[in-house]
Amino acid sequence: MSTEKEVTIYDIARKLNISSATVSRALNDDPVVSKKTKQKIFDLAEQMGYRTNLFARNLRNNRTNTIGVIIPRINSFFMSSVISGMEKVANQSGYNLIISQSSESVEKEIKNVKTLYNSRVDGLLVSLAYDTIDTSHFDVFFKMRLPLIFFDRVVEHEHATNIIIDNRKKAYEATQHLIDQGCRRILHVTAIPRQTVYVERLAGYKQALADHNIKFKEDYVIINDLSHRAGIETAAIIQAMNTMPDAVFVSNDDCAIGCMIALKKAGIRIPDDIAFVGFNNDPISTIVEPNLTTIDYPGYEMGVVAANNLINHLHLNGVAPIHTTNTIIIRSELIIRASSLKRK
Amino acid sequence: MSTEKEVTIYDIARKLNISSATVSRALNDDPVVSKKTKQKIFDLAEQMGYRTNLFARNLRNNRTNTIGVIIPRINSFFMSSVISGMEKVANQSGYNLIISQSSESVEKEIKNVKTLYNSRVDGLLVSLAYDTIDTSHFDVFFKMRLPLIFFDRVVEHEHATNIIIDNRKKAYEATQHLIDQGCRRILHVTAIPRQTVYVERLAGYKQALADHNIKFKEDYVIINDLSHRAGIETAAIIQAMNTMPDAVFVSNDDCAIGCMIALKKAGIRIPDDIAFVGFNNDPISTIVEPNLTTIDYPGYEMGVVAANNLINHLHLNGVAPIHTTNTIIIRSELIIRASSLKRK
DNA sequence: TAAGTATATACAACCGATTACATATTTTTT
DNA sequence: AAAAAATATGTAATCGGTTGTATATACTTA
């Protein structure tokens, strides 16, 4: 075994006594090259173990066939499903994915944008960090007319497409479902309503209450980081209340389950004393007892749609500017399980 | 807003009336360039919004600062943790990660290797697909002396480093623990012992039985794909047995939990009738009731170690050939929870 | 001050593919 | 058989950095 020198089109050209231009054309299947020559070139390339030097190509073409992805964190069921979907689509279309995590911090997100910009990705798929409000760090992309798609945690932007689910409607449905079960004191546990997702969910929750003549109470909204641990803490808060709620609608399954388990340990019956609805439809929602009612948030599909959309746009190459489609709403669904069924 | 032309070192050189070579050297902080000139160049580069063209650089340097990752599937807790760890390390060292999924198929894996090879990744981090036995598709990498690290699903190879946990020992401990709890009819549910991981676990299981004078029975080993669904099917098999086992040691939490829940539904008490031990320490193992005894498999750490190792090797640039370290064993641990505690 | 050394900058080739344009070869038409 | 058209191939510039070598300038030293 020894390090082999890379084979170039020049090597092939020399051996066949033809010009490198012809080799290049042949390898790109240019119809202008005769079938005979093409075959010779293909065969020799194969035999010599030729592989395109993508830098040389990209340097000329000024395209990388690479898509940048920025997400808060990869290791949740939802996010890894999204990535899985994106990877599949990208791979099929000959694109590579460069994934970077913002770890929920704007600073890191800004750094990531810079890195990906310098890596000359052809476009960007982004789910915003927890505390991103100002999005001017993406301006470099808009300036260079590079397509950008936000998904899940999005922000309205004239030059970007958003891919989301109808958070308001689903939150409405979740709340209404609880009301239908006879609940009246419904708590909403969510993250700071800074990101649209949470604003919308809160709005849906409020609307459902209003539509059923239930008065909205400020202290029935609990704000935390939606972690499992936060769920446990929320359980303590609930137990300390004068009148306990009869239902809790949480913006994420992890947190919902943390809370549910803690309450169960304290002897509170789910759903009889307190009904629960989560959000995301993580696999854990079917493991916990009772199984958690939740909103199915199709991560894989979201990843597929986001990547497809970006790649389509890249192929149209500016023919259809990205702001023609502004928002894509993915189908999502309330899945009713035992944790919220008071009336069997 | 308008598409801006990219700024090159030539633009900077022209404006400052110096040569592009000096600009290039200055931007790479070459000590041969005077401080004054450097400052001028830095300032102008900043002001003009210069960014390095990585293709041009890579074309010259023949390095990409990119690491390829091939995994069976990203959307499991374990794998996404691994990736998370890799991404963190890579990002810190200025490397990009290109992740591709083999979807547990050799064919796809072969395709991925080719793609990554053509993308000129500097090295490869690989966890093998379910049915990969022959690994000759990695030969191109060895041939070009590109470093390759296997993790989790590994294969012995003279030129690759393996990063694993001590599967045999941990399986031994898990089995011994069950024996200590008084179990004697211990079932082992695992994948086809084709990949070392499963071979080792099976070996550890057998060894523990042997060391405690329990006769190994061929039909106490159940082979499936370790999915949740497979767990449910396994529950049916167990119930159909003449004498049911008093313990089950499963090679993965997902499958263990599927089986456990199905048995519970059938009225079998866990752990009193049948004790359970899983593998991986997925978050679900603390959600299910009773909580699942399992082996903590530190994915994040594994990702960190794998990426660190590869990058170290890249920086040493052949000084330390990769086969000097052949195997790295990550610490892992049996975590005892209620699902296996017969003696409280 | 002249020679010698150190420091700073410039020149130009190079990495490997792409492609507009020029030229050569073959085929078709008259 | 000559001209026209169609087809196939070649020439050379280009993308934007990097770097070995040459040259120019400043600083020591004798």
- My answer on whether A311 and A228 are in the same domain is no
For chain B, positions 214-233, list CB contacts with chain A under 8 A.
228
For the sheet containing A186-190, what is the strand order?
A: A221-223, A186-190, A247-250, A275-277
In eight-state DSSP terms, residue A31 is: T
Q: What is the pLDDT of residue B3?
A: 44
- My answer on whether B42 and B26 are in the same domain is yes
- My answer on whether A187 and A205 are in the same domain is yes
Q: Which of A219, A201, A164, A181 is nearest to A278 (CA)?
A: A201
For chain A, positions 6-25, list CB contacts with chain B under 8 A.
6
Residue–nucleotide distance: A138 CA to D5 C1' (Å):
53
List the beta bridge partners of residue A221.
Answer: A188
Q: In 3-state terms, what secondary structure has residue B264?
A: helix
Q: β-pairing, A333-335 with A294-296?
A: antiparallel
The verdict on residue B57 lying in a domain is: no
- Measured between beta carbons, the chain B residues lying within 8 angstroms of A300 are 75
Give the distance from residue B176's alpha carbon to the nearest chain A alpha carbon, in angstroms. Answer: 27
List the beta bridge partners of residue B316.
Answer: none
**Cα dist from A69 to A98, B96, B98, whole Å:** 6, 11, 11
* pLDDT digit string (tens) for chain B, length 344 residues: 334 578 899 999 999 999 999 999 999 888 888 899 999 999 999 888 888 888 898 888 877 888 999 999 988 899 999 999 999 999 888 888 888 889 888 999 998 898 888 888 889 999 999 888 899 999 988 887 889 999 999 998 888 999 999 999 999 999 999 999 999 999 999 999 988 999 999 999 999 999 999 999 999 999 999 999 999 999 999 999 999 999 999 999 999 999 999 999 999 999 999 999 999 999 999 999 999 999 999 999 999 999 999 998 887 755 455 556 689 999 999 999 999 998 65
B117, A228: Cβ pair inside 8 Å?
no
- My answer on whether A193 and A230 are in the same domain is yes
The total number of structural domains that make up chain B: 3
The verdict on residue B154 lying in a domain is: yes
How many whole angstroms separate alpha carbon A211 and alpha carbon B60? 66
Return all residues near B240 (Cβ < 8 A) that are at least 6 apart: none
The verdict on residue B2 lying in a domain is: no
- My answer on whether B176 and B265 are in the same domain is yes
Q: What is the pLDDT of residue A63?
A: 78
Nucleotide C14: nearest residue by CA–C1'? Answer: B60
Q: What is the pLDDT of residue A3?
A: 45
Residues, chain A, total?
344
In eight-state DSSP terms, residue A187 is: E
Q: In 3-state terms, what secondary structure has residue B14?
A: helix
CB B276 within 8 A of CB B234: no
Which residue intervals of chain B are DSSP H helices? 9-16, 20-27, 35-48, 54-61, 77-92, 106-118, 139-143, 167-180, 196-211, 228-239, 253-265, 299-316
Of B76, B83, B144, which is closest to A4 when you measure between CB atoms?
B144
């694993």: which residue's tokens? B164
Residue–nucleotide distance: B29 CA to C6 C1' (Å):
19
Q: What is the pLDDT of residue B156?
A: 87
Chain B contact for A54 (CB, 8 A cutoff): yes
How many whole angstroms separate alpha carbon A70 and alpha carbon A86? 12
Give the distance from residue B46's alpha carbon to the nearest chain A alpha carbon, in angstroms. Answer: 13
Of A100, A117, A289, which is closest to B87 when you measure between CB atoms?
A100
- Measured between beta carbons, the chain B residues lying within 8 angstroms of A61 are none
User: Residue B37, CB, less than 7 Å from strand C?
Assistant: yes
Q: β-pairing, B294-296 with B333-335?
A: antiparallel
CB A302 within 8 A of CB A86: no
The secondary element (H helix, E strand) that includes residue A316 is helix A299-316
How many whole angstroms separate alpha carbon B224 and alpha carbon B230? 6
CB A165 within 8 A of CB A329: yes
Chain A contact for B288 (CB, 8 A cutoff): yes
- My answer on whether B39 and B104 are in the same domain is no
- My answer on whether A281 and A178 are in the same domain is yes
* Mutation for B interface: A46, A73, A78, A96, most B CBs within 10 A: A96
In one-letter notation, the amino acid at residue B255 is: C
The verdict on residue B264 lying in a domain is: yes
Residue–nucleotide distance: A54 CA to C22 C1' (Å):
28
How many whole angstroms separate alpha carbon A311 and alpha carbon A313? 5
- My answer on whether B150 and B205 are in the same domain is no
Give the range of the structural domain holding residue A41, as residue numbers without chain letter. Answer: 9-52
- Measured between beta carbons, the chain A residues lying within 8 angstroms of B4 are 143-144
The verdict on residue A2 lying in a domain is: no
Residue–nucleotide distance: B37 CA to D16 C1' (Å):
21
Strand C interface, B 4-23, C-beta < 7 A: 17-22
Q: The domain that contains A156 carries what CATH number?
A: 3.40.50.2300
Give me the residues of chain A with pLDDT under 50, please: 1-3, 319
Q: What is the pLDDT of residue A4?
A: 54
- My answer on whether B140 and B159 are in the same domain is yes
Q: In 3-state terms, what secondary structure has residue A144?
A: coil
Chain B contact for A51 (CB, 8 A cutoff): yes
Residue–nucleotide distance: B32 CA to C1 C1' (Å):
29
Q: The domain that contains A21 carries what CATH number?
A: 1.10.260.40
Give the distance from residue A35's alpha carbon to the nearest chain B alpha carbon, in angstroms. Answer: 25
Strand C, nucleotides < 7 Å from a protein CB: these are 7-12, 14-20
Of A98, A115, A143, which is closest to B98 when you measure between CB atoms?
A98
The verdict on residue A59 lying in a domain is: no
